[in-house]
Amino acid sequence: MSNGPGLLHGRLGLAASRIPHADRHGLLWLEYGKLSVEDGTLRFVAARSETLDAGDYAIPYQAVSMILLGPGTSITQDVLRLCARHGVLIAAVGEGGVKSYTAPPLGQGRSDVARAHAERWADPKRRLDTARRLYAWRFGRVLPHRDIETLRGIEGARIKESYKLVAQRFGIEWHGRRYDRQNPNAADLPNQALNHAATFVEAAADLAVAAVGALPPLGFIHEDSSNAFTLDIADLYRVDLTLPLAFGAVRAYRDGDADHLEREVRRRAAKLFRQEKLIPRMIDRIKELFDVDDRGGDA
């Protein structure tokens, strides 16, 4: 088997994966190749890409918690069987991890995060305390308010002002947030870009929530959506990541440096997610939120 730069001979090293080693085991990004089973181990025959040299690689699945299959990948049924037997999650994702096309099984054979999540959500006081903790991370300080509607109102005003300030920073004319779920592309360019950027960040949150085995429907701030908790996590990054991502893409499109708005947001998101190690950061935040320490098993 051949070896790529920085990789052990014949083995796909986790340290060189596109989405860095983050969980107790690791997340491994693969693209443009075929994943199969040979002699009881995973084999990935790769074409050359930004991430990996062309070659034939053995994957140490015992040290992997989730395999993210990017564009141009295919797998055999034996891969699904082997990964299911050993608790390795598989998710099909878009370029750079900015889309999530599958919902993998929860966790890695562990229930600590799910139990902590359910216990906090089921207790009204602990549910509010958890929501206040999420808001504290957004604001950089703990707010004294203990009414969820008051907290939502304060956050709404903050976000409204953040839209205006970030738009000004990028020289974008801003007329307010408008979103038509039935026709997302009907809005003006800044709102279209925000729709795309929010979708991409939510996809990253989907993967982080699945990786740790948290419960998507049980949100602490969001309530009605089937992925309410995913939205709770994605919103932690709205001001610092989602808004600059969207308005930066609009600026590039307006200045003639990009010829397609959604493609520009996608390209920037893929690069930013790698640079910021977004999914691993989200994983760490979820564990911190539930006070789960996976160095020694259950918290």
Annotated binding site: 155, 222, 235
Annotated binding site for Mn(2+): 155, 222, 235
Side by side, the strands of the sheet bearing 27-30 are 27-30, 66-69, 89-92
- 3-state SS record for the chain: CCCCCCCCCCECCHHHCCCCCCCCCCEEEECCEEEEEECCEEEEEECCCCCCCCEEEEECHHHCCEEEECCCEEECHHHHHHHHHCCCEEEEECHHHCCECCCCCCCCCCCHHHHHHHHHHHCHHHHHHHHHHHHHHHHCCCCCCCCHHHHHHHHHHHHHHHHHHHHHHCCCCCCCCCCCCCCHHHCCHHHHHHHHHHHHHHHHHHHHHHHHCCCCCCCCCCCCCCCHHHHHHHHCCHHHHHHHHHHHHHHHHHCCCCCCHHHHHHHHHHHHHHHHCHHHHHHHHHHHHCCCCCCCCCC
CB 114 within 8 A of CB 106: yes
**Which neighbouring-strand residues pair with 36?**
43
Start-to-end C-alpha separation, the chain: 41
Residues 6 or more apart from 254 whose CB is under 8 A from it? 172, 189
